[in-house]
A and B are shown apart, each in its own frame.
Chain A
């Protein structure tokens, strides 16, 4: 793995040295060591390396967004000595995973307006809701959503490190936890110079179940009734088999 990365970096470096003309046309080149995160039966989380090159000195910000889904946030309050869900708000288009990495602290690289424009950082995620709420309440529900996703390890806290090798080559590790949702992810790479985004690139990354897990999931999706009947038959079979050794007891 490590060897392959070094090799790729070397190739990227050589390409850069050989064809400065081409590199100028493309201010930013980046790729992943793998475009597929395969979830197998033994999956406990994994890392993918993003590497790339810029056409000169600059800072790099990497944002990873999981497939979007709608999320319901509920608030409990105490009614007659019992905690009950009393309010609920649904947010549309919430990324199921969000992580960020940068070559320097974000405040030093990009001003808040730039970060807001490109949705860089959890506080700049554009989460919309149709619920009629006061701005204060919206903010409470919004931060509760982010807090809960962070607790589930789906919004890793802080900003990861993008490290430069020299002025032009960079790399960063993107870590995915064991409970990473499946689907198509977008890895956005921003090149920032003089507090402005001068170039960007978006690379897709697929997180998918592979092997036995994929087959079970696929079966359960496509032939739900047959899957249910099979699950029952299998359970009954195991129950019967297990009673055999105790037959003469």
Chain B
């Protein structure tokens, strides 16, 4: 059954959108990543104009994240205090990122920058996570349940402005999460994503948060970053297709609920290893695309549509 999307101005099969929404929602529920890094390329693949795909993904992320946060919150796995501090940095970062984005657009290299950024970021993070989680799994098998340190002490723990985050069992400088939020904010503005796949590993390895509170807290900050992006895109570019976002959401919210339940059954290192593999696959695909000769060397876009 085809449906005509008003802003995207194309007609797409409803069941493709519902299924895509459900698959991405499931991932978001399991890992606490928004899934934008998978959703946006797939929407472009099925014929949605890139600008509309980016903006409408942000819109659907708002709903999917709300649903995810509620599920995690019921289990007491959201650190609201940490979320608020991350957000302060996030808003500043996305404002700066929007400025960088318009600069890249004037240079005419948005597409390339976004692809290279994805490859570098996903490749590095995926590899690091895979190594770490494999080690953790091997250690568990060998040593059994030995006592471990809660987290490692690094130079960042020596910074001033220390704050206590009860839910995360942390006493660290507020500069670290604010800075993290800022960096992720820049990335979401440039790459059109919630930034969960950067946020989640950073929360685990940089901040040293317990794995259980990471997905819920990450989703909490994605709600606000995605809402910010949606409003900016709608007001500035008119590229938000609410109908597209709602159809993706209907599949997505169901997927997210199932995903968060599935995720709570997996151990932390298994979760991280799975996410790492998925991130690496996407990075490999994008890297390959950069070097493959396109079918048509020429591409056409209406002036002012990107």
Contacts and interface: CB of A to CB of B under 8 A. Distances in A.
**Which among B63, B66, B112, B227 has the greatest number of chain A C-beta atoms within 10 A?**
B63
Contacts of B47: 179
Contacts of A209: 4, 6
A220 B290 CA distance: 35
B253 A238 contact: yes
A76 B6 contact: no
B86 to A, nearest CB: 19
B6 A178 contact: no
Contact of A83 (B59, B108, B294, B301): B294
B250 A238 contact: yes
Contacts of A151: 296
Contact of A144 (B64, B67, B298, B301): B298
Contacts of A42: 2-4
A44 B257 contact: no
A217 B290 CA distance: 35
Contact of A216 (B6, B62, B67): B6
A20 interface: no
B7 A85 contact: no
A29 interface: no
A225 interface: yes
Interface in A172-199: 178-179, 181-182
Interface stretch (A54-62, A160-168, A227-235): A227-235
Number of chain B interface residues as a range: 35 or more
Interface string B1-29: 01110110111000000000000000000
A77 interface: yes
Nearest to A43: B4
B246 interface: yes
Contacts of A220: 6-7, 234, 238, 240, 242
B70 A240 contact: yes
A247 interface: yes
B235 interface: yes
Contacts of A225: 231, 234-235
A238 B249 contact: yes
B297 interface: yes
A71 B302 contact: yes
Given A147-B296, A239-B62, A240-B66, A246 B10 contact: no
Interface string A85-116: 10010100000100000000000000000000
Contacts of A182: 9
A35 interface: no
Interface in A206-239: 209, 212-214, 216-217, 220-221, 224-225, 227-232, 234-239
A239 B296 contact: no
B290 A178 contact: no
Contacts of A238: 63, 67, 246, 249-250, 253
Chain A: interface residue count, which band?
35 or more
A72 interface: yes
Interface string B223-239: 10001001111111010
Interface in B60-92: 60, 62-68, 70-71, 74
B303 A69 contact: yes
Which of B7, B68, B108, B242 has the most C-beta atoms of chain A within 10 angstroms of its own C-beta? B242
Most chain B C-beta atoms within 10 Å of own C-beta, residue among A44, A214, A217, A231: A231
Contacts of A243: 66-67, 70-71, 253, 257
B92 to A, nearest CB: 20
B109 interface: yes
A214 B5 CA distance: 10
Interface string A119-137: 0000000000000000000
B299 interface: yes
B291 interface: yes
Given A76-B297, A235-B60, A239-B249, A227 B240 contact: yes
Contacts of A170: none
Nearest to A89: B298
Contact of A149 (B238, B253, B300, B303): B300
B298 to A, nearest CB: 3
Contact of B74 (A144, A224, A247): A247
Contact of A235 (B2, B62, B298, B304): B62
A229 B293 CA distance: 41
B261 to A, nearest CB: 7
Contact of B62 (A72, A74, A224, A232): A232
Given A178-B10, A216-B243, A235-B246, A90 B296 contact: no
Given A232-B227, A242-B253, A249-B261, 6 more contacts: A69-B302, A148-B298, A220-B234, A228-B230, A228-B235, A239-B253
20 contacts: A41-B3, A73-B298, A74-B299, A81-B290, A96-B302, A144-B300, A148-B296, A178-B10, A178-B11, A227-B234, A228-B240, A232-B62, A232-B231, A235-B66, A235-B245, A238-B246, A239-B65, A240-B67, A243-B67, A249-B261
Ordered nearest first, which 6 A-B pairs have the shortest CB separation?
A: A228-B234, A242-B253, A239-B66, A144-B298, A235-B63, A239-B63
